Structure 1
């Protein structure tokens, strides 16, 4: 009998395999990013049908195969169902998932990245926060956690004090405190500029979800 393990994580993406199976990528607390197969998950009535979709967060019971894991059981604590009623927030959420799939690695310590992803998705469903601000906080903090934050980009005109304070707060604060502030439209514009510079410098591929976001915001 194959030995099984239990991991806590979130499904970053899911794709069909064969007639009834599904392959998922899970960002886990214990083993970083892993690929797993859910046999029969696309069959009507399967107990894995609802729990192997993007955004599902909870516990996954796995057995380890030669090249991937297999899912035997799930216990989902948050489906992030609010995204079904908020298309724009869902687009931001898909971008966050895609970015985490890009940034994280197997067998790496990704606990902070998983925590950032979870808290950022929760923030998107909080009506008092700007989705744009959440995005820039998420992007800058992900760079910082990944050890790639180089300091503020240089430019001829100094950044607004509010923008400098906001970036320093994002980099230095715990993830639990990230989404506790708002900024003016001018500061938000500068955060957008800073985040764009970082993204173009450190990410070597275009995100499909980001292209969709750009289209709906035109």
Structure 2
């Protein structure tokens, strides 16, 4: 028997399957990371053609069976076209999606991760904060959410770096992207985050390698 399920989330992965279908993965508020099928999504004229691609944020309605979730409707709140239309923003955004996928877990509330991902994508659409700083804020905060971080690394020497580190760890996610840093403070934070990534993340991020190539 089919049961209707409505989830709020962001599509982090969309893979073609069969001749016309897609398999999508989302970070959702209600169930954490979920995957589902979209029958006929790649048919010309499908109402779900543009609603089942990465970066899309909205409400998604599924039929749930014992074997799978099958999407039948999507109410999209934001497409993030500004990200997909710019190669540098796409590279940063794709890395954020892959890192969210890495940490995502099924059947748990992911309100914090979803909010962080959404606010980070919004930050990428603006020019008020450098993308490289947006990246470091996202990395540190998602590691904080998942309990894999140093509260005050020894590599933070200047007051600006120490203050920014605590700000990123503790402030409300909606206020994260409201500051900038001196070159000295940024370099110290960057080095500390790179050290944590080497210690805590056990596989390379393919999108990060692309990001380094395109944005170096």
Give unmatched runs, 5+ long, in structure 2: none
Q: CA deviation at 1:148?
A: 1.8
Aligned to 2:203: 205
Report the secondary structure of 2:211's partner residue: helix
- Provide Cα deviations, 1:39-79, integer angstroms capped at 9, x if missing partner: 00011101110000000100000011233210010000100
CA distance in structure 1 between the aligned counterparts of 2:116 and 2:125, rounded to whole angstroms: 15
Q: Return the TM-score normalized by structure 1.
A: 0.96
Aligned to 2:123: 123
Aligned to 1:15: 15
CA distance in structure 1 between the aligned counterparts of 2:28 and 2:181, rounded to whole angstroms: 32
CA distance in structure 2 between the aligned counterparts of 1:90 and 1:186, rounded to whole angstroms: 27
Q: Is the 8 A contact 2:11 2:52 kept in 1?
A: yes
Is 1:196 the counterpart of 2:155 in the alignment? no
Q: Aligned-pair RMSD on alpha carbons? A: 1.1
Aligned to 2:26: 26
Is 1:132 the counterpart of 2:136 in the alignment? no
Report the secondary structure of 2:14's partner residue: strand
Aligned to 2:94: 94
The more displaced of 90-99 and 139-148 is: 139-148
The more displaced of 93-102 and 67-76 is: 67-76
Q: CA deviation at 1:205?
A: 0.7
Runs of 4+ in structure 1 deviating by more than 4 angstroms, as ranges, are none
Aligned to 2:181: 183
Report the secondary structure of 2:133's partner residue: helix
Report the secondary structure of 2:62's partner residue: strand
Q: CA deviation at 1:3?
A: 1.6
CA distance in structure 2 between the aligned counterparts of 1:154 and 1:181, rounded to whole angstroms: 22
Aligned residues: 216
Report the secondary structure of 1:75's partner residue: strand
CA distance in structure 1 between the aligned counterparts of 2:197 and 2:7, rounded to whole angstroms: 30
Q: Return the TM-score normalized by structure 2.
A: 0.97
Q: CA deviation at 1:145?
A: 1.1
Is 1:77 the counterpart of 2:77 in the alignment? yes
The more displaced of 5-14 and 158-167 is: 158-167
Q: CA deviation at 1:34?
A: 0.4
CA distance in structure 1 between the aligned counterparts of 2:158 and 2:138, rounded to whole angstroms: 20
CA distance in structure 1 between the aligned counterparts of 2:200 and 2:84, rounded to whole angstroms: 31
The more displaced of 90-99 and 181-190 is: 181-190
CA distance in structure 2 between the aligned counterparts of 1:87 and 1:194, rounded to whole angstroms: 27
Q: Superposed, which structure 2 residues align to 1:91-170 within 5 Å?
A: 91-155=91-155, 159-170=157-168
- Provide Cα deviations, 1:108-138, integer angstroms capped at 9, x if missing partner: 1211000000000000111111001001100
